[in-house]
């Protein structure tokens, strides 16, 4: 049951919900309704709740008064452009735990990211404290060392062997950059687009994290270890066996402050025209 409800005294029969429904299951009789046999087609997108001008529609147990108004403050086009252009990959982090409430706030914001077929099944595997982060770091470096000793480290990842040796000899952490926190996004393999969904959601997390003064670093090396070098790491951190790994993001308080954005190497564009 999708629990589609209409407050009839608020419904003005404008038909906006019917027109905007992606699967066309809403009808007006004259108030909005969804036939029981049509409910299975609902994408759970909540467009009907969002578009109703009089806040008459509730669905999936969600009420319009609990949603953020589209009249609420949003960044201007210039502010958003500047936010993107001044973003930097952080490789020097402060040795400080972030307030768990802030991490929760940023993850909840990221949970609004779009997903294929509106599956909404992206799972965040989070390390939210430096103690666990140190243990995980040791596990990753140990997995790399073992793969080298057993001569099964793929050639394309030979650089990891060098990083492991540097870590073992000097304590310099090239892979994690001493980040205090880590987030891995995964989604069920059966979903329409699990890897893409995960990476889009991580991108939303990064934008929100940066807006809250946190530094971030996309990390392919941890992802390689989990996916191709030592799958047992999945069990160590509880990633479900039926999940596809999207990517890994390191985050924390930046130990550096940049004065300006960089200058892009240029836009690469393939402009399509199918007109004869």
Same structural domain for residues 172 and 49? no
- Do 36 and 128 belong to one domain? no
Same structural domain, 126 and 214: yes
In a domain, 78, yes or no: no
For residue 194, which of 235, 239, 231, 243 has the smallest C-alpha distance? 243
Check whether 276 has a pLDDT greater than 80: no
pLDDT at residue number 266: 84
Residue 78: CB partners within 8 Å, gap ≥ 6? none
Residue listed under structure tokens 């929760």: 104
Structure-block tokens of residue 214: 């946190």
Q: Quick one: 95 and 188 in the same domain?
A: yes
pLDDT at 162 over 90: yes
Q: Answer for the pair 7, 56: CB distance below 8 angstroms, yes or no.
A: yes
Per-residue pLDDT reduced to its tens digit, 40-65: 999 999 999 999 999 999 999 999 99
| Number of neighbours of residue 111 by Cβ within 10 angstroms | 14
pLDDT (tens digit per residue) in 11-32 = 999 999 999 999 999 999 999 9
From 40, 66, 92, give the residue that closes a domain: 66
In a domain, 269, yes or no: no
Q: What is the CATH number of the domain that holds 46?
A: 3.30.70.20
Q: Return d(Cα 215, Cα 227) in angstroms, integer.
A: 25
Total number of domains constituting the chain: 2
Residue 103 and residue 169 in one domain: yes
Contact 16, 31 (CB under 8 A): no
Asked if 95 contacts 178 with a C-beta cutoff of 8 angstroms, the reply is yes
186 within a domain of the structure (yes/no): yes
Both 51 and 89 in one domain: the answer is no
Tell me: the pLDDT tens digits for 68-114?
999 999 999 999 999 999 999 999 999 999 999 999 999 999 999 99
**pTM of the predicted model, to two decimals?**
0.93
Q: Is residue 234 in a domain?
A: yes
Whether 142 and 205 share a structural domain: yes
Same domain membership, residue 177 and residue 116? yes
Residue 182 lies in a domain: yes
Do 145 and 245 lie in one domain? The reply is yes
Q: Is residue 23 part of a domain?
A: yes
59 lies in the same domain as 117? no
Q: Tell me, yes or no, whether 77 lies in a domain.
A: no
265 band by pLDDT with thresholds 50, 70 and 90: confident
Looking at the structure, do residues 237 and 142 belong to the same domain, yes or no?
yes
Q: How confident is the model at residue 210 (pLDDT cuts 50, 70, 90)?
A: very high
Question: Which range marks the domain in which residue 14 is found?
Answer: 5-66
Residue 232 lies in a domain: yes
Same domain, 93 and 41: no
The two three-digit tokens of residue 11, written as one number: 């419904």
The pLDDT tens digits for 214-259 are: 999 999 999 999 999 999 999 999 999 999 999 999 999 999 999 9
């Amino acid at each position: 049951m999708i629990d589609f409800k209409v407050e009839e005294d608020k419904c003005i029969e404008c038909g906006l919900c019917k027109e905007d429904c992606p699967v066309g299951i809403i009808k007006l009789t004259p108030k909005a309704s969804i036939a029981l046999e049509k409910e299975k087609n609902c994408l759970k997108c909540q467009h009907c709740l969002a578009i109703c001008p009089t806040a008459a529609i509730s669905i999936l147990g969600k009420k319009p008064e609990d949603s953020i108004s589209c009249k609420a403050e949003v960044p201007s086009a210039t502010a958003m452009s500047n936010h993107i252009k001044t973003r930097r990959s952080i490789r020097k982090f402060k040795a400080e735990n972030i307030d768990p409430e802030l991490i929760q706030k940023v993850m909840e914001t990221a949970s609004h990211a779009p997903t294929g077929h509106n599956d909404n099944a992206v799972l965040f595997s989070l390390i939210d404290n430096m103690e666990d982060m140190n243990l995980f770091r040791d596990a990753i470096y140990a997995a790399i060392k073992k793969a080298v000793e057993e001569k099964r480290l793929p050639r394309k990842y030979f650089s990891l062997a060098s990083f492991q040796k540097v870590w073992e000899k000097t304590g310099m952490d090239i892979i994690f950059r001493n980040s205090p926190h880590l987030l891995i996004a995964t989604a069920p393999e059966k979903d329409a687009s699990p890897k893409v969904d995960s990476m889009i959601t991580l991108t939303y997390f990064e934008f929100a994290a940066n807006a809250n003064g946190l530094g971030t670093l996309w990390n392919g090396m941890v992802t390689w270890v989990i996916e191709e070098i030592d799958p047992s790491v999945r069990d160590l951190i509880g990633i479900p066996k039926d999940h596809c790994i999207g990517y890994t993001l390191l985050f924390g308080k930046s130990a550096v402050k940049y004065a300006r954005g960089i200058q892009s190497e240029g836009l690469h564009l393939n402009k399509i025209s199918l007109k004869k």
